[in-house]
Chains A and B, each alone.
Chain A
Amino acid sequence: EVQLVESGGGLVQPGGSLRLSCAASGFTFSEYWMHWVRQAPGKGLAWVSRIRSDGSSTSYADSVKGRFTISRDNAKNTLYLQMNSLRAEDTAVYYCARDCTTACFIDYWGQGTLVTVSS
Chain B
Amino acid sequence: DIVMTQSPGSLAVSLGERATISCKSSQDVLHNSDNKNYLTWYQQKPGQPPKLLIYWASTRQSGVPDRFSGSGSGTDFTLTISSLQAEDVAVYYCQQHYNAPYTFGQGTKLEI
- Residue ranges of A at the interface with B (Cβ–Cβ < 8 Å): 35, 44-47, 50, 59-62, 95, 100, 103-112
Contacts and interface: CB of A to CB of B under 8 A. Distances in A.
Q: How large is the interface on B (under 10, 10 to 19, 20 to 34, 35 or more residues)?
A: 20 to 34
A112 B49 CA distance: 7
B40 A44 contact: no
Contact of B102 (A50, A62, A107, A108): A50
B103 A107 contact: no
A95 B61 CA distance: 20
Interface of B is mostly: loop
Nearest to B61: A107
Contact of A95 (B49, B55, B97): B49
B22 interface: no
Interface hub of B38, B50, B100, B102 (most chain A Cβ within 10 A): B102
B77 interface: no
A45 B97 contact: no
A95 B97 CA distance: 17
A61 B52 contact: no
B77 to A, nearest CB: 13
A51 to B, nearest CB: 11
A35 B50 CA distance: 14
Contacts of A46: 104
Contact of B55 (A103, A105, A108): A105
Nearest to A108: B52
Contacts of B104: 44-47
Interface in B18-64: 38, 40, 42, 44, 49-52, 55-56, 61
Given A45-B107, A47-B104, A62-B101, A105 B50 contact: no
B53 to A, nearest CB: 11
B106 interface: yes
Interface string B77-112: 000000000000001010101001111111100000
